[in-house]
Structure 1
């Protein structure tokens, strides 16, 4: 079985980390992660794609994992992610690619396919449906994680009470429940998870350690800005 390799590309003045594997006889597949994720989320799919004859490429989104941090968080935009995707294809001399997006990764995948249809072989999206029309998030409960994390400083204070590994653990437990919980007015999102709650069976302690190490490197400042605090004006 081929081994996943790692490289860095200078894209739009940022050093972006990519993981890649496969010869690409049948084309290239770009895998775009969501939150709280990194390239590592695609490790099994990457190996399966390589075995099937594709080259799998999973970047760490700017501000995530081992990729560089944008200098001005408040100016983060979805256009940045679309431009980064174009830069990756150009730098790797990929004329056309299949795009796979999960969670917020679907937005740059969808927008790229609209802006650059000549560079796309197909688009696969997971978790979030395509939404071409702007919609308000005002209907969400105020104690839901999305509006809570949109509040400047609130999530930082909430997360700051714990080590990074505990934060990532709590988010995954929260996200994999049958129903997403809503916090009371005097309750924080991290408090919704009981410390004794077990990890879901598909997430091992080694996996958790891998995620935690990369979020310790990147921090949560950009991941909270993109996608959560960039949602109101552009969803």
Structure 2
């Protein structure tokens, strides 16, 4: 520990607790299930350890099977609440679209069409350039009917951050200069440049996703595990066991 913060190399998880932080899933149920099998296999060899699996948000949009991702996460958390699910901007965007059919919002412009397809709904059916808004309005009504109440409840239940040991977990990052317990929710799911460009250490190492990188990015003050899983076929996670820190990468088919 320095006077100004904690360096990744010095950061530790809580004694006796293994931490796993999984990056943006974006509808890749296949990779998420495979990552959980990998983690469960590791935990079988550490029966005396407590653990937390922290999912960093963006479960929906872009990839092929958002519905199955949410089903999986609901069941996983029900089976053991040590599975923690944080909110991503795309998850909040889905909630916002279900509440109001915004034709030019995040959901429609960045992968919501694929999310709707996983629920059996074509948002743009019979929609031409002059009738797009009407088609979206019809699709919106169909999607509201198709999305189970349990999925809406799940999205509404998502928290925005978690802290364990020397690590702070969130979807996008934090606003430098603002205490961790006073961060704005919009920053936690949307921030990029002001966070990425900050040269100093924070009071904890920030573990996040949101901004795709070719491979997990480990910096002195942060770790980014968004490796564009929906397209690249690589879902990444940070594993922490005391002072030991590793990147896990689950490989699958690229789209």
The TM-score range, normalised by the shorter chain, is 0.3 to 0.5
Task: From the two aligned structures, give the one with the greater helix fraction.
Answer: 1
- Greater length-normalized contact order (CA 8 Å, ≥ 6 residues apart): 2
Instruction: Give the structure with higher Rg (CA).
Output: 2
TM-score normalized by the length of structure 1: 0.33
